[in-house]
């Protein structure tokens, strides 16, 4: 049976600048924290970097054609801050801006709706040297950078996403150190969450001040946190994980305050957290939609060895993707339902969902039934949520094509299009042809 989606449902694919563009030092682009991080031995599992990646900077026209072949209605990409401002601030690098103008023109000519993410982790290195996200000034520079984008591209890009996954780039970048800039300090990470949220708010303010026609929101990675058992300590651990990863970002944006319970936990661990009420007003400015990135749930148990939250996720042994993430489609329904319950009926987009599997190119074909199955089951859960009255308006598969998967380098393939890196040839995978049919039927068959 065909489970049909609403008539104007937006089906798309997502990517991010550092993961696909390459051209890391061309046309006046400045270095980003990811250039520096990947050029430092030991940080990336296969020693690789994004210097060339999918060479999308030079192949964008071919890639837009690929999107047309796939029938995509929308494309979510990100803009590289150091292409626009090589030093993070100061004067605009026109050549960098021109690249995005060309890309957006190509999308609009192909009737593919552009969704632009203003920040998907490639902070200008010059700003990192002044303290990066741990410094409040970065929020102001981000707002200035956003303002330029709105002025230059606001008329041709109808959907804007301020930040991609602030929890990931702050906690992994400043707390655990497995992402750029590789710092390991919970105090810094906490500061970074605050500046990032403020940056988001200031960008929303800048957008409204210009009165451009379009919508603005933010993308959060949200993960249902399930307790490993009924033991009180596991239940509490799951709650802390939820506070740290989900509510720490949702609450300030939609309720105008950070969760007190977590502020107290920080204080107990010697991390002070000051909130300025003027900042809170900006952080909680009304947005037009929330972008949700969903990949898996976490099953959480008590672990006193983990600082601050005394909690860790249990790694699944079966039913998992190449990332080691459990395949749990029901979690998407649960998540969308809980957002409505706790924060209201906000217009939602799934801005990322997808999976990595071991893909092999055999006779110019890639047969990836696991990814097809993963997508199908998640689409169905999205369908259920819509039927229940959740205002879900679109769905972006991560990713359009295989790309540089951060600390995992090129060892994980998430694309519905295979990239043969030595030749840069793009080959649509079985899952890509499947997705094309889903879009054509505007529904999923089970
Ligand atoms: C998300 C990131 C995206 C990609 C996927 C697999 O956390 O936003 O860039 O790496 O995970």
d(CA 132, CA 189): 11
Mean per-residue pLDDT, 108-134: 99
Assign 138 a pLDDT band (cuts: 50, 70, 90).
Answer: very high
d(CA 161, CA 353): 16
pLDDT digits (tens, 9 = 90+) for 167-191: 999 999 999 999 999 999 999 999 9
- Round the average pLDDT of the chain to a whole number and report it: 98
- C-alpha 242 chain-centroid distance: 18
Assign 356 a pLDDT band (cuts: 50, 70, 90).
Answer: very high
pLDDT of residue 36: 99
φ/ψ of 177, rounded to 5, equals 85, 10
- Asked if residue 414 has its Cβ within 6 Å of ligand 1, the reply is yes
- 232 classed as catalytic: no
**Best substitution site from 76, 162, 405 to test ligand 1's pocket, by max atoms within 8 Å of Cβ?**
405
- C-alpha 408 chain-centroid distance: 16
Question: 232 C-alpha to center of ligand 1: Å?
Answer: 32
Question: 91 C-alpha to center of ligand 1: Å?
Answer: 30
- Asked if residue 168 has its Cβ within 6 Å of ligand 1, the reply is yes
Give Cα separations from 252 to 145, 172, 247, 296, 443 (angstroms).
Answer: 23, 20, 8, 24, 35
pLDDT of residue 268: 97
User: What atom in ligand 1 is closest to the CA of residue 19?
Assistant: 9
- Asked if residue 405 has its Cβ within 6 Å of ligand 1, the reply is yes
Mean per-residue pLDDT, 322-346: 98
Residue whose structure tokens are 């649509």: 428
Mean per-residue pLDDT, 404-426: 98
Q: Among the options 21, 128, 352, 405, which is catalytic?
A: 352
- Asked if residue 406 has its Cβ within 6 Å of ligand 1, the reply is yes
Give Cα separations from 172 to 286, 288, 404 (angstroms).
Answer: 28, 28, 17
User: What atom in ligand 1 is closest to the CA of residue 165?
Assistant: 8
Assign 245 a pLDDT band (cuts: 50, 70, 90).
Answer: very high
pLDDT of residue 130: 98
Q: What is the DSSP letter of 314?
A: P
The CATH number of domain 2-445 is 3.30.565.10: no
For residues 273, 279, 282 and 284, what is the CA-based torsion angle, rounded to 10 degrees? Answer: 30
pLDDT digits (tens, 9 = 90+) for 188-229: 999 999 999 999 999 999 999 999 999 999 999 999 999 999
Beta bridge partners of 76: 14, 115
φ/ψ of 129, rounded to 5, equals -65, -15
User: What atom in ligand 1 is closest to the CA of residue 221?
Assistant: 7
**Residues 327/370, Cβ–Cβ less than 8 Å:** no
Assign 437 a pLDDT band (cuts: 50, 70, 90).
Answer: very high
Residue closest via CA to ligand 1's atom 5 equals 398
φ/ψ of 300, rounded to 5, equals -115, 135
For residues 174, 180, 183 and 185, what is the CA-based torsion angle, rounded to 10 degrees? Answer: 10
Q: Which two tokens stand for residue 143?
A: 């707002």
**Cβ neighbours, 10 Å, residue 1:** 7
**Residues 417/68, Cβ–Cβ less than 8 Å:** no
d(CA 446, CA 438): 11
Interior CA angle at 359 toward 354 and 360, to 5°? 160
Question: 363 C-alpha to center of ligand 1: Å?
Answer: 29
pLDDT of residue 200: 99
Element (H, E) at 226: strand 225-227
User: What atom in ligand 1 is closest to the CA of residue 405?
Assistant: 10
**Best substitution site from 398, 401, 411, 413 to test ligand 1's pocket, by max atoms within 8 Å of Cβ?**
398
- Asked if residue 221 has its Cβ within 6 Å of ligand 1, the reply is yes
Query: Which candidate, 427, 445, 291, places its Cα nearest to that of 376?
Result: 445
Handedness of CA 263, 267, 270, 271 (dihedral sign): positive
pLDDT of residue 439: 98
Assign 306 a pLDDT band (cuts: 50, 70, 90).
Answer: very high
Question: 329 C-alpha to center of ligand 1: Å?
Answer: 17
pLDDT of residue 140: 98
pLDDT of residue 189: 98
Q: Among the options 165, 326, 372, 405, which is catalytic?
A: 165
Query: Which candidate, 192, 195, 196, 172, places its Cα nearest to that of 182?
Result: 172
pLDDT of residue 83: 99
Question: 181 C-alpha to center of ligand 1: Å?
Answer: 17
**Best substitution site from 352, 404, 407 to test ligand 1's pocket, by max atoms within 8 Å of Cβ?**
352
d(CA 16, CA 352): 11
Question: 409 C-alpha to center of ligand 1: Å?
Answer: 12
Residue closest via CA to ligand 1's atom 10 equals 405
φ/ψ of 10, rounded to 5, equals -100, 110
Catalogue the E-assigned strands of 258-386: 289-293, 298-302, 311-313, 348-353
- Asked if residue 15 has its Cβ within 6 Å of ligand 1, the reply is no
In the chain, the percentage of residues whose pLDDT exceeds 70 is 100
134 Ramachandran zone, left/alpha/beta (phi>0; psi -120 to 50): alpha
Q: Are strands 10-14 and 392-398 parallel, antiparallel or unpaired?
A: parallel
Angle between helices 186-210 and 137-153 (to 10 degrees): 30
Query: Which candidate, 430, 396, 394, 400, places its Cα nearest to that of 413?
Result: 400
Q: Which two tokens stand for residue 166?
A: 């602030």
- 165 classed as catalytic: yes
Beta bridge partners of 116: 77, 160
- C-alpha 61 chain-centroid distance: 23
Assign 97 a pLDDT band (cuts: 50, 70, 90).
Answer: very high
- Asked if residue 397 has its Cβ within 6 Å of ligand 1, the reply is no
**Residues 334/328, Cβ–Cβ less than 8 Å:** no
Q: Domain coordinates of the chain in residue numbers?
A: 2-445
- Asked if residue 352 has its Cβ within 6 Å of ligand 1, the reply is yes
In the chain, the percentage of residues whose pLDDT exceeds 90 is 100
Question: 351 C-alpha to center of ligand 1: Å?
Answer: 10
pLDDT of residue 281: 98
**Cβ neighbours, 10 Å, residue 156:** 15
pLDDT digits (tens, 9 = 90+) for 47-84: 999 999 999 999 999 999 999 999 999 999 999 999 99
Question: 325 C-alpha to center of ligand 1: Å?
Answer: 13
pLDDT of residue 273: 97
């Amino acid at each position: 049976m065909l489970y049909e989606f609403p008539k104007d449902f937006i089906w798309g694919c997502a990517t991010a600048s550092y993961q696909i563009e390459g051209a890391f030092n061309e046309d006046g682009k400045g270095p980003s924290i990811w250039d520096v991080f990947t050029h430092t031995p030991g940080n990336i599992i296969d020693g690789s970097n994004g210097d060339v990646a999918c060479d999308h900077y030079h192949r964008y026209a071919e890639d837009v054609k690929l999107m047309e072949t796939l029938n995509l209605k929308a494309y979510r990409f990100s803009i590289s801050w150091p292409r626009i401002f090589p030093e993070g601030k100061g004067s605009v690098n026109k050549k960098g801006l021109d690249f995005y103008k060309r890309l957006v023109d190509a999308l609009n000519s192909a009737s593919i709706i552009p969704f632009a993410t203003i920040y998907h982790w490639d902070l200008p290195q010059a700003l990192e040297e002044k303290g990066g996200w741990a410094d409040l000034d970065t929020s102001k520079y981000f707002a200035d950078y956003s303002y330029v984008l709105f002025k230059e591209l606001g008329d041709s890009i109808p959907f804007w996403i301020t930040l991609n996954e602030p929890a990931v780039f702050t906690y992994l970048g400043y707390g655990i150190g497995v992402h750029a800039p590789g710092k390991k300090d919970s105090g810094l990470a906490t500061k970074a969450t605050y500046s990032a949220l403020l940056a988001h708010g200031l960008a929303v303010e800048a957008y409204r001040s210009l009165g451009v026609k379009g919508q603005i929101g933010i993308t959060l990675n949200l993960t249902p946190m399930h307790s490993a058992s009924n033991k009180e300590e596991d239940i509490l651990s799951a709650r802390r994980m939820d506070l740290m990863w989900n509510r720490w970002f949702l609450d300030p944006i939609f309720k105008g305050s950070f969760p007190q319970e977590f502020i107290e936990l920080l204080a107990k661990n010697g991390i002070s957290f000051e909130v300025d009420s003027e900042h809170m007003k900006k952080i909680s400015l009304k947005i037009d939609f929330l972008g949700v990135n969903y990949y898996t749930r976490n099953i959480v148990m008590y672990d006193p060895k983990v600082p601050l939250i005394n909690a860790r996720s249990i790694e699944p042994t079966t039913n998992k993707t190449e990332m080691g993430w459990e395949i749990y489609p029901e979690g998407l329904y649960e998540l969308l339902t809980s957002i409505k319950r706790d924060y209201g009926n906000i217009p939602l987009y799934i801005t990322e969902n997808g999976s990595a599997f071991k893909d092999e190119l055999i006779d110019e074909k890639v047969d990836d039934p696991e990814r097809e199955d993963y997508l199908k089951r998640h689409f169905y859960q999205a369908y259920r949520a819509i039927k229940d009255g959740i205002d879900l308006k679109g769905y972006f598969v991560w990713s359009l094509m295989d790309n540089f998967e951060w600390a995992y380098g090129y060892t994980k393939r998430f694309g519905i299009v295979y990239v043969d890196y030595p030749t840069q040839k793009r080959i649509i995978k079985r899952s890509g042809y499947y997705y094309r049919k889903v879009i054509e039927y505007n529904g999923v068959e089970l």
